Structure formats: C-alpha cells, structure tokens
Structure 1
Amino acid sequence: METGEVLVIDLFAGPGGLGEGVSSVADGDGNKPFRIGVSVEKEPSAHKTLTTRAFYRKIKVLDGGLEDYFNYVRGKLTRDEIFELYPQQAQEAIYETLEEPRALGEDNDLIHSRIRELIITHQGPKVVIGGPPCQAYSLAGRSRNAGIKDYKAEDDHRNFLYKEYLKVLSIVQPDVFVMENVRGILSAKLNGNVMFPQILQDLRDPGLVTEVRGVAKYRVFSLVVEANDPSDPQYPDSSDFLIRSENYGVPQARHRVILLGVRQDIAHVPDTIHPMKQAVTVEQVLSDLPPLRSGLSKQKDIQKDWENQVQINAKKLERILKTRFESGAVDKLNLEPMLDLERQSSLVSELERIIPAHLEDWYLASHPGCVLNHATRGHMTSDLLRYAFSAAFTKLSGGTSPKARDYPLELAPDHENWDSGVHVDRFRTQAANKCATTVTSHISKDGHYFIHYDPKQCRSLTVREAARLQTFPDNYLFEGNRTQQYVQVGNAVPPYLAQQIGNIVMKLLE
C-alpha cells in the first residue's frame, strides 16, 4: 500500500456496498485515498461478488482492463479466463477477500493474522468499517425469534457479533471507524435492558471489553446531528444516530443506525452529512431500464400465454377500477399488454432518462453498455391480476398502494390472515412518484412487497431495479443465482450514502 493511502478494513462486508462507497471517494486532485486491505464475508455468493468487485477496481485502471471486464459481465469471457488475463490482480483480489468465505468468530486466527500483517506495513491512517449482522436486532428478526420456543436473546450469538467488531478495533486501533446497523438496535433488549447504551459505551472503550491493554479510546459521533460537546459527544436521543437515507439522495426510505468513531487523540470534529432538498423518486431511477414481462409460474412459460392472460386481466381490471375511480382516469391508463416483451434484457434502453444529476454519473460512469442482473421472476396467473390492480390503484390514487380492504373479493388471495388486519399490505407497489420503501432481503422470497409501478408489466422488481434503489452503479455485477442476488442487494449499505460518509472521514483525516 502506497504512502498517504488510507487502509480500510471491511468487516461483515456483504456484497460490498459500504466498501464501494468509501473506496470511491476522491480528493480535490482526483486521487482516491481509501484502499481496502481486507474484506470479510462468510456468505459464498456475496463473497464471490465482493471478489469480483475487488478485481474490477484493480483492473479498471489498466490498459484494456475495463473492456475485458465488460466482456466478462457480457458473458464473452469466463471468470477463469479473465483471471488468467490479469493473474496478479486476480491474486490480489482473492487475497483481499481472504481466499474464501470467512466468518468473524469462527475464523478469527486467520482474519486477525491477516489484519496484523496489513497494519504492520502500513504507515498511514487506518479505518475500520462494517455492520454486524442485524437479524437479532431487526424488528422482523425479533418478531420471528418471539415465535421460537425457549428463545433467549442472551443465548443468541448474533446479539454479540458487535464484540467481534470490538476485537478488530483493539487490533487495528484505527483513526476512525464506521459501524452500521438496523434501527432495531436502538430498542433491542438483553435481560430486560436496552442494549444500545452499552454498545455505545463498549465502542468508546473497546479495550475494556476485549481485555487488551493500551487500546485507544474513541469519541462516537452522529453523522446527522451535531454534538453539543465535541470533546465528549453525548446525544440526548438515541435516534440522533439514525440516518434516513431518503433525505440524503438515496431513492429509498432506508433508516439505519450509523456510528462514527474518532480516536481520542484526533482533535478534529467530523462534519454531518447534508440533506438534499428533494427526495429521489422510484420512477426517476427506474424508468430508463428496459420494460420486461413477468414469467408464468406453475405452468409452461409462453410469451403469448402471458399476453393473452394480461389481455383478459385488462378487461377485468378496467371494470374493477371504474367502481373506485373516475372512468376517464381509468381509460387513460391503457391497460392493454405490451407485446413481444422479454423476461430479461441486457440491452440498454432507448427510453428517456430522468435520473437526478447527483445520481446519473454515479449509476452510469464506466457503463458496460448492457444492463446487468435484469431478469424477472415467475408469478402465478392470479398474482398477475393482483399486481396489475395494485400498480394501477397506486397510480390512480396518487401514490398510495392498496391495502387488503381495497381489494375486491374476486382478487382476494387464499391467505389465512388476509381479512385479519395482520397483513394489510401483503401486496405493495413501489409508487412511481415517491421514494421506495426499504429494500430488504425478503425480496428474495417473493415480490409481493416490491411490485413495479407499471401495471402493464405485471411483475415485481428485478435485481437491477432493486440495486438502483440501493444506488449500486450499473456496472456492479451480483454473482450467484437470482435468489442470492436479491439477498445481497437487500442486505447492503447504499453505496451513494457510504460515499458521503467517506467524504466526511477523508476531511476528518486531512
């Protein structure tokens, strides 16, 4: 690693959203000071994505590297073939991601040894980033745990993975650390006590927990609320650490706790990220992607059969909608099916782009000339009509997705809880004129919460569309099967938000 570079240790990295944003930060001269030294991830498909991206960062600056990467993502080169073209960079990428999936708490000897190797030879600033897995803290995870017989939070190792983060802090003693987690961490309890104040205290003095002498202490700052006393930052409300992504240029209402730790010997006080005046809408970031048809599940998937079904549904839908909305508004929708739509597309669309300026270059820089990970899943024919109804209702209502009570009896699914009031938004359209709801890993199970706003496409979002909502660049390839890709996108930190955090860290280190 060159002199002046900032060494980044990326823990619980997922597909690399936090690392992507931080490593993209450039100074006034265009130099990118952050260099990822090691990325730790245990899930195999996410680890493969992480390695691919590490490799991309290393070859894109070489003559022909970008074009060869494009040939890989277009399927013209295999993974083995492109690695053989750039053996040194391939080995560096593999080394960066620890050769294979690794888990903190299970592979600590290797992980800690590799980190020690890096910090011995590195003379510049050091940064640790990452978010311990959130299943045990998330509201949904806690709801699931409540249904498990004899479940005890104090016995769930996932509640203590942040202590693995503390162990790495004790080894690296970075100038700055960034720790991300779900908002549920603010209210999660252990033995009846809210955990968050103790987590904050542990992060301020990691050596006390890890029982390692001589470990630096930290001041922990919010990235959105200024501290009353920078020398001893205290925040009266734990929600001061909550970042609402939609306020910072991300087209998604993703609310996450992000903590910024600054070593006590560093006197500088970090800035806060600045909110943008207008939220980015779903339509702004998805409308230029090629339209697709959904697949037909539980039967042979034939394009003409899909078109015929949507044609039949259009007449039913028109009748149903006219009982709820003005006939003229319904007629303007034109619910007739698009013809000759494919289920996947790698072709760049000719549709007009309305992406806001701050995201257009972010998405499209070094574009591969094709659309990656843009393929639909299959849906039951009955869901085609429900999806179309939900999308049409959302559009006609000005952006409100229908609840269970808004569906006519003939569209009610055969769900036990449909009329119970428990799952009133079992189907949810991502409204064109609003930011998206939180993209979660649940999108991998079914698309009911992530219906495309266009009623003529009758489908859920593709991986690429979900990735756009998460602000991944268009050249970011997600490896693995489609289900694994959805999980990766749903678990990631929005890279554009991470870049803004990285800019604050860079200024702090200067």
Structure 2
Amino acid sequence: MKAGEILVIDLFAGPGGLGEGISSCTTGSGIKPFDIGISVEKEPSAHKTLTTRAFFRKVANNPVARSDYYEYVRGNLSRDELFSSYPEKAAAAFEETLHEPRALGEHNDQIHQRIRDLVEEHKGFKVVIGGPPCQAYSLAGRSRNAGIQDYKAEDDQRHFLYKEYLQVISIAQPEVFVMENVRGILSAKVDGKVMFPQILDDLKQPGKVTDTEGILGYKIYSLVVDAETPENPSYAKSSDFLIRSELYGIPQARHRVILLGVREDINGIPTTLDKAEQYPVTVKSVLNDLPPLRSGFSKLKDDGEEWARIIALHEKRLNKIFKQSNKVELVDELNLTPLLGLPRKSTEHSNINEALIPEPLKSWLLDEELGYVLNHDTRGHMVKDLLRYAFCSAYAQLNNGISPKSKDFPQELAPAHANWNTGAHADRFRVQSANKEATTVTSHISKDGHYFVHYDPRQCRSLTVREAARLQTFPDNYLFEGNRTQQYVQVGNAVPPFLAKQIANVVLKLLSDI
C-alpha cells in the first residue's frame, strides 16, 4: 500500500475526529495510505479547527514548520503569519476544507463537483466517512422535539440527511464507507415506523434511492459482532451495530452506531475491532498530569483568595453533612481543603512525566515537543453550584466512584427546581469519577458543567475543553478554534479519533487483502 493510495471523503466532519483517526493510520512500514481529499463542515468555528488541523497534518513532517505551528498555538504567531510562511500547504488545507463552511443539502453543486474532480483524478481506493447530524435521532433531541407544538418527524429534514450521504456514495462509488450516528437512530421513528431498517436498506442500494443507474450495492457490516452469514451479512438485532467505546480503549462510555459498508464487488470480509487489553481506561489516568485549576464565579468578581475562602467554607459544611451519613468512618479520609494559588488557566505541562495513561493511548495523546497545554481554562460557576460540585466529587470518593442522584443530596443542597424530586432529572449534577471511564461527552457541556464535574473536590469545577478533548482522545496538539463555548460543542459532537484509527485499521486490512 502506497502513501495516499486511499482517497478519503469526509462528510459532516465537525472538528475532524473521524478524519484525524483515519488519516493517522499507518502500515507496518510506517506509510500513511489514507489521504483526506475533502472535508465538509458547515459550522464556522468547527470549519476553522478543521482547516488548522489539515494544515498541521500537511506540515507535520517538516521540523521547522511544526515548530512554527507550536508558536502559533502558544500565541506567539498569528494564524495569518503561520499560513503565509507555508503558502502551498495552507492553500492545500483550504482546498481540502472547501475554503469556507459548506453544508450538504445547501451547497451541493460545489461539494459534488469537487468530489467528482477528486474521483476522476484519483486512481486508487476511495472511502467515504462521516456521520449525518444526529439531533433528530438522539434521545435528548427527540425529547425536545416532543415539546414542540405540531412537531412532525416526517417534516424534519434532519431525519433524512443520511440521504445526502447516499448521494455522495452514488457519485464517488467508494469501495468502503463508514457511517456514524447516535444510538437513538436504532429506535427513531417517522410516521410511527422505526427508521433504522429502512436506513440499512437504503445504504445497501444507494443508486436506487438517488435514482442513479449503474451503482453497485453495499454489504453492511458491524465492527463489533461477526455476521451470521459473512458473504451476505445479516445480524440478529439492530444493537449489533452499536460500539461501546470504553471496551476499545476510549476513556468514555460513548455508545454509537457505526456502520461499515463494503461494495458488493469487493472480495473480502472485514474483521471486527479488537477489545483493548486494559479497560476501562479511567478518568484520573487520562487527566491527572494536566495542570490543576480553580473555577471562577459566574456572578461575582473573579478573585482567587475569595474562591479559596468560599471553598473552605464549603469544606466545613460538607464535613458536617458527611459525618451525619452512613459513611462516617470514611470521612476522615476525605481531603476537601482547597488548593491555594490555583490559576483559572494554565499552559504549563510540567507534569507530563507523571501521566498515568496506559499505552497505546498515551503515545497517541501526548506530544513532548509541544511543552504547552491548549484549551485548558475554566468557566465560572454559581457559588451554590460549587458547593454541589464539591459534594458530588466527595460523594463519589466515599462511594466507589458512584455519582450521587438527586435523592442522595441533603435537602440543604437541593436546587430550586420544581422537578428536582420527581426523578426526571435525577442526575442533574454528575461527577466524572476518578476510578471509572467518563460518561458520554456531549455538546451539552457547552451549556453548563453540571454533568461534567471534575473528580477533585479541591479544584471544585467542571471539566475544561482540553480535559473533555482528552476523554474524547484528541491529541494534545489538536487546537480547537473559536470561543470556549464553540470549542465545547466541537468536542462534544466529535467521533473519538483513537477509535477512528482502530476502524481505519480494519478498513486498511480489508483493502490490502484485495
């Protein structure tokens, strides 16, 4: 297999998680056969991230250019200065991401023409990757939709964005495609009918759906369950397509549907993913080497000494609360004393040698040349929420990593929410426990930190963008552009790159054996 022999067409790319993992795949001799020809993304900040990363990939083997990239992410060089120093590589990065945000369904003329050009120029294998936006399929999205007056699923075009994916398959006719989506796609309904079987049928015959003649069909494989009849794959249940990421070395219980389509003329049966030798990969093992930080205040002037004073008051209240619980014998083991002198932002990675991350994830995440921590600053929280965060972190320490439900909170810490005691939002506050894998990192992290409380009560805060990115397995040198809220959204919507790399290995083996 030669370098760049496999053309990758990346749709609904987000900040590039799926593309990052696939393009990083190497052969045994170190060759990178996957080459991203086009990445399509409509959200401006994600598109900027995507373009920056495309540039980095193109200059990564040039020590001088790589050093200049580090100067950019450290804030010592502007993006324009960086790109103007390497105009050919910058131009190629912009061409890869279509120069500006683009959306399938809105800019099809430009997108489809670019894909046609790439397919005509490329003489090797082709792979289409991507996950159509999932808001209409996700359980949370469906809950929101149910509250919209006169909402009809059959009128929500987001249910049918996968057909844009089919249109690209009909144009590119790739040997393989990889399609990712939320687990809610397995149960989503339109007109009372579960959509997933129809989606599978459509993916098997894209030409029929797009009314394009001469298009070969596809066999749809699971990446985690062996097909009952490999030559003509079928599966006992829809959930056989569900990947539980924590079983594959991802420090997060991210459960996603990922379909592997293989063109019917390809003689080969894909393997399934190998489970990680060590799992779960815990939150603490992935985050412990990052600089400790304190939170800020959302409605008070930021002041480190005032923060320490308030957290110290919380320490006294929590000690009293826990001594009244049935865990009184363990309370003395708690250390809730606030860490003094903490900043809200730190770029110093002085603890990199103390990283507990197991291999091979450690080598994937860390970049010892970088010497800097990107996107690692905290948001502000309400004082009362900081007390609840500290309670959550301490409770998990006393209860083997279990995060408290609303029923576990003392009345004095209960928020003024009408549904607090109904059970509807029993886990409104949730700690990411030190000794477990994280729960699913979602774009909700951009709204508040209640579901993403740091395990250390002495820092008393929610996760930073970099910590969320670590749990999503983005390499430390992966810069997220845009403001902090936009960065959180990008991370929450992404595919874990380290999982994508493993999927790429399956695809590479299949194509290499042809």
The normalised TM-score by structure 2 is 0.98
Residue 345 of structure 2 is matched in structure 1 by 344
- Give me the whole-angstrom Cα distance separating, in 1, the residues matched to 2:326 and 2:376: 33
Q: Answer whether contact 1:6 1:35 (CA < 8 A) is retained.
A: yes
2:415 match = 413
The equivalent of 1:489 in structure 2 is 491
Does structure 2 retain, via aligned residues, the 8 Å contact 1:440–1:487?
yes
How many Å separate the matches in 2 of 1:161 and 1:240? 23
Q: Describe the superposition over 1:188-247 as per-residue Cα deviations: whole angstroms up to 9, x where unpaired.
A: 111111111110011011000000100111111000011121221011101000000000
* Aligned residue number for residue 296 of structure 1: 297
Q: Report how many aligned residue pairs link the two structures.
A: 509
Mean Cα displacement is larger for which, 291-300 or 319-328?
319-328
Q: Which amino acid aligns with 1:342?
A: P
Are 1:376 and 2:384 an aligned pair?
Answer: no
- Separation in 1 of the partners of 2:238 and 2:262? 18
Q: Is the 8 A contact 2:49 2:481 kept in 1?
A: yes
Residues 80-479 of structure 1 aligned to structure 2 (within 5 Å) = 80-277=80-277, 278-350=279-351, 352-365=354-367, 367-479=369-481
The residue matched to 1:357 in structure 2 has which SS?
coil
CA shift digits 1:91-117 (9 cap, x unpaired): 110110001000000000000000111
Report the Cα distance in structure 2 between the residues aligned to 1:323 and 1:488, rounded to whole angstroms. Answer: 42
Kindly indicate whether the alpha-carbon contact (under 8 Å) linking 2:4 and 2:34 is maintained by their aligned counterparts in 1: no
2:247, 2:400 → 1: CA distance?
A: 21
Cα 1:4–1:320 change in 2 (3 A) is closer
**Equivalent residue of 2:142, what SS?**
helix
> Which amino acid is the alignment partner of residue 308 of structure 2?
E
CA distance in 1 between counterparts of 2:273 and 2:325 reads 43
3-state DSSP of counterpart to 2:360:
helix
Residue pair 2:288, 2:355 contacting (<8 A) in 1 also: yes
Distance 2:395 2:202 in 1: 49
CA distance in 2 between counterparts of 1:440 and 1:3 reads 34
Distance in 1 (CA, whole Å) between partners of 2:484 and 2:200 is 37
SS of corresponding position for 2:7 = strand
Q: Distance between the aligned counterparts of 2:10 and 2:68, measured in 1? A: 27
Cα RMSD after superposing both structures:
1.1
Q: Is contact 2:4–2:32 with CA below 8 Å preserved after alignment? A: no
Question: 1:80 and 1:505 mapped to 2: Cα distance?
Answer: 36
Shift in CA distance, 325/349, structure 1 to aligned 2, threshold 3 Å: farther
SS at match of 1:111: helix
Q: Aligned-pair distance for 1:350?
A: 2.4
The alpha-carbon deviation at position 349 of structure 1 amounts to: 3.3
Aligned-pair CA distance for 1:321: 1.1
Distance in 2 separating the partners of 1:450 and 1:3: 40
CA contact (8 A) 2:327 2:398 kept: no
Quick check: 1:54 aligned with 2:44? no
3-state SS, counterpart of residue 7 of structure 1: strand
Query: Shift of residue 366 of structure 1?
Result: 5.9
TM superposition shift of 1:327: 4.0
Deviation at 1:63, TM superposition (A): 3.9
Q: CA deviation at 1:342?
A: 0.2
The Cα of 1:365 is off from its aligned counterpart by 3.6
How big is the shift at 1:65?
1.2
Please state how far the C-alpha of 1:353 moved relative to its aligned partner: 1.5
What amino acid is aligned across from residue 500 of structure 1 in structure 2?
Q
Paired residues of 1:270 and 1:505 also in contact (CA < 8 A): yes
In the alignment, residue 490 of structure 2 is paired with which amino acid? Q
- The separation in 2 between residues aligned to 1:259 and 1:386, in whole angstroms, is 40
Matches of residues 27-38 of structure 1 in structure 2 within 5 Å?
27-38=27-38
**How many percent of aligned residue pairs carry the same amino acid?**
66
Secondary structure of the 2:171 match is helix
* Counterpart code for 1:345: S
Is this contact kept in 1: 2:330–2:398, CA < 8 A?
Answer: yes
Whole-angstrom distance in 1 between the partners of 2:339 and 2:63: 43
Partners of 1:334 and 1:253 lie apart in 2 by: 28
Moved more, 290-299 or 329-338: 329-338
- Preserved contact between residue 3 and residue 33 of structure 2 (Cα < 8 Å): no
| TM-score normalized by the length of structure 1 | 0.98
Relative to structure 2, which stretch is displaced further, 276-285 or 135-144?
276-285
**d(CA) in 2 for partners of 1:317, 1:84:** 55
Q: Residue in 1 aligned with 2:16?
A: 16
Q: CA deviation at 1:3?
A: 7.4
More displaced 10-residue stretch of structure 1: 176-185 or 342-351 = 342-351
| Separation (CA, whole Å) in 2 of partners of 1:441 and 1:377 | 15
1:367 touches 1:475 (CA, 8 Å); kept in 2?
Answer: no
For 1:354 and 1:126, locate their aligned partners in 2 and report how far apart those are by CA, in whole Å: 38
Partner residue in 1 for 2:482: 480
| AA aligned opposite 1:392 | A
Q: Deviations over 1:438-479 (max 9, x none)?
A: 000000000000000001111000000000100000000000
Aligned partner of residue 69 in structure 1, secondary structure: helix
Q: Give secondary structure in 2 for the equivalent of 1:310.
A: helix
Q: 2: distance between equivalents of 1:4 and 1:294?
A: 45
Q: Give, in angstroms, the shift of residue 492 of structure 1.
A: 0.2
Shift of 1:138: 0.5
Whether the aligned pair in 2 keeps the contact of 1:3 and 1:124 (CA below 8 Å) is no
